[in-house]
């Protein structure tokens, strides 16, 4: 197979973060190729929440209107104990220009982003292509492809292919982090709650129950999984897992709240870990990682995909000057990229702290511990603190 022309940027991974970056680069007239080993999309969506900073970034890509029309706009969230509202977060009080969260399954978000990328650069995305190896060359990076597909060379390579991705391995930085004992089970069901576009948290001594609206009159439910049940539940028997989830919800909420297992559209069991690399780029600036390839935080709080998008937008702004610096024979490490790393890792650490707080508030508690949580919630219901919490939970200012 003949060698391809040298690309400006090659992105490994065509999830929402990789496609966002490719679209942002194509908008700037930068040549980009996106390599994705999947031939088909995932069957289910874990990420659903799109926060105000990401909405603004998606607006700059020209897809905000379709995102909002396709999803559910969430203007506020409430916390209930035994069916009674104890606190409310009004997202319209955050001061953000787009003061709301959009709930939209990741599969739909990816579809919209891919369509926008195709409109800008129809040949950018290549699926069914696995990157097996990353080799540094004097003035480029060589990506060895599987299945006899040859290689791709680029001036800059960005890894958006997750924590175990090939670009993160090539960087070789040891990640700081830990795995948590917490386990959660989630599922999507027909919405019979009457809560409409409200996000609802049900606090209970045996663990929190989270409930979010989805398009098509559906609702996403998430709750803490008893440790003795393990992680072997998600084996493809959706009816069994749906019955378990409905039973857990029923035991932690008031009668009539739990969904009907027969309406289950998806269930999944997941664990939690925190992992943050000390660096996001190589010294020569030719390898960069973003999103989960650079940092993982708990899915509780829905910040992971949004962090990745903000990584992507910040990097896209710097790519033109970075490519110029890479072409200079007297280049040093770009100070612009150093600023990018510091800012994005600082944001990831803040997100990790918030997700750990969320987990601490939602895990099972003794009588005294639960009483303390109720006292904290009473304080959080006061307007000054509720506005600050609304800003934190919507990632405003990130």
- The whole-number pLDDT of residue 198 equals 97
Residues 6+ apart with CB under 8 A from 181: 227
279 vs 389, residue with greater confidence: 279
Are residues 294 and 262 part of one domain?
no
Among 272, 306, 337, identify where a domain stops: 272
Are residues 259 and 139 part of one domain?
no
The reply to whether 61 falls in a domain is no
Give the residue-averaged pLDDT of 355-364: 83
Are residues 251 and 315 part of one domain?
no
Can you read off the two tokens belonging to residue 344? 């994005």
Give the residue-averaged pLDDT of 123-136: 95
What is the rounded CA–CA span in Å between residue 266 and residue 218? 11
CATH code of 20's domain: 3.50.50.60
Are residues 30 and 137 part of one domain?
yes
Residue 394: pLDDT over 80:
no
What is the rounded CA–CA span in Å between residue 229 and residue 183? 9
Are residues 292 and 261 part of one domain?
no
By CB neighbour count within 10 A (0-12 exposed, 13-18 middle, 19+ buried), where does 107 fall?
A: middle
42 vs 94, residue with greater confidence: 94
Are residues 240 and 129 part of one domain?
no
Top-ranked range on mean pLDDT: pick from 129-138, 234-243, 292-301, 389-398: 129-138
What is the rounded CA–CA span in Å between residue 347 and residue 307? 8
What is the rounded CA–CA span in Å between residue 24 and residue 120? 10
What is the rounded CA–CA span in Å between residue 221 and residue 244? 12
pLDDT band at 234 (very low <50, low <70, confident <90, very high): very low
Are residues 235 and 289 part of one domain?
no
Are residues 281 and 268 part of one domain?
no
Are residues 216 and 145 part of one domain?
no
Range of the domain at 16: 7-48+105-175+277-359
Mapping DSSP to helix (H, G, I), strand (E, B) and coil, where does residue 220 land? strand
What tens digit of pLDDT does each residue of 24-73 get?
Answer: 999 999 999 999 999 877 667 788 999 999 999 999 999 999 999 999 99
What is the rounded CA–CA span in Å between residue 64 and residue 145? 34
The reply to whether 64 falls in a domain is no
The reply to whether 163 falls in a domain is yes
Contact 270, 304 (CB under 8 A): no
What tens digit of pLDDT does each residue of 168-214 get?
Answer: 999 999 887 888 888 889 999 999 999 999 999 999 999 999 999 99
CATH code of 260's domain: 3.30.9.30
The reply to whether 370 falls in a domain is no
The reply to whether 28 falls in a domain is yes
pLDDT band at 231 (very low <50, low <70, confident <90, very high): very low
Mean pLDDT, the chain, integer: 89
The reply to whether 41 falls in a domain is yes
Can you read off the two tokens belonging to residue 14? 């065509």
pLDDT band at 336 (very low <50, low <70, confident <90, very high): low
The reply to whether 79 falls in a domain is no
Based on DSSP, count helices (H) and strands (E) in the chain, helices before strands. Answer: 10, 18
Are residues 114 and 23 part of one domain?
yes
What is the rounded CA–CA span in Å between residue 101 and residue 111? 19
- The whole-number pLDDT of residue 1 equals 47
Our count of domains for the chain comes to 2
Among 240, 272, 304, identify where a domain stops: 272
Are residues 346 and 201 part of one domain?
no
3-state secondary structure 334-367: CHHHHHHHHHHHHHHHHHHHHHHHHHHHHCCCCH
Among 236, 256, 272, identify where a domain stops: 272
% of the chain with per-residue pLDDT over 90: 64
Residues 6+ apart with CB under 8 A from 126: 33, 34, 35, 36
H-type alpha helices, the chain: 16-27, 52-61, 64-70, 106-120, 166-171, 238-252, 304-327, 335-362, 367-380, 383-393
pLDDT band at 9 (very low <50, low <70, confident <90, very high): very high
Are residues 311 and 170 part of one domain?
yes
The reply to whether 307 falls in a domain is yes
């Amino acid at each position: 197979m003949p060698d391809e022309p040298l690309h400006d940027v090659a992105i490994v991974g065509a999830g929402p973060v990789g496609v966002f970056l490719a679209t942002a680069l194509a908008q700037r007239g930068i040549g980009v190729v996106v390599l994705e080993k999947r031939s088909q999309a995932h069957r289910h969506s874990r990420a659903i929440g799109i926060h105000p900073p990401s909405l603004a970034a998606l607006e700059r890509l020209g897809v905000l209107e379709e995102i909002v029309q396709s999803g559910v706009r969430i203007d506020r969230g409430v916390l209930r104990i035994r069916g009674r509202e104890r606190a409310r977060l009004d997202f319209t009080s955050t001061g953000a220009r787009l003061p709301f969260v959009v709930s939209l399954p990741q599969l739909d978000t990816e579809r919209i982003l891919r369509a926008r990328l195709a409109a800008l650069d129809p040949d950018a995305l290549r699926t069914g292509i696995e990157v097996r190896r990353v080799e540094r060359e004097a003035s480029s990076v060589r990506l060895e492809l599987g299945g006899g597909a040859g290689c791709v060379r680029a001036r800059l390579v960005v890894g958006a292919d997750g924590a175990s991705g090939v670009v993160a391995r090539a960087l070789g930085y040891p990640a700081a982090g830990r795995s948590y004992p917490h386990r959660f089970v989630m599922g999507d069901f027909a919405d019979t709650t009457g809560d409409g576009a409200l996000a609802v948290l049900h606090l209970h001594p045996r663990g929190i129950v989270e409930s979010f609206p989805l398009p098509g009159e559906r609702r996403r439910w998430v709750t803490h999984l008893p440790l003795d049940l393990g992680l072997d539940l998600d084996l493809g028997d959706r009816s069994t897992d749906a019955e378990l989830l409905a039973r857990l919800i029923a035991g932690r909420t008031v009668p009539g709240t739990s969904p009907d297992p027969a309406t289950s559209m998806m269930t999944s069991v997941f664990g939690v870990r925190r992992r943050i690399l000390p660096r996001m780029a190589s010294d020569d600036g030719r390898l960069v990682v973003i999103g989960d390839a650079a940092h993982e935080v708990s899915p509780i709080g829905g910040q992971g995909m949004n962090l990745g998008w903000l990584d992507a937008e910040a990097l896209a702004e710097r790519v033109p000057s970075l490519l110029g610096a890479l072409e200079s024979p007297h280049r040093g490490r770009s100070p612009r990229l150093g600023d990018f790393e510091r800012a994005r890792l600082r944001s990831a650490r803040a997100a990790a702290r918030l997700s750990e707080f969320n987990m601490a508030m939602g895990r099972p508690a003794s009588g005294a511990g639960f009483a303390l949580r109720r006292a904290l919630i009473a304080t959080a219901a006061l307007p000054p603190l509720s506005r600050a919490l609304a800003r934190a939970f919507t990632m405003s200012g990130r």
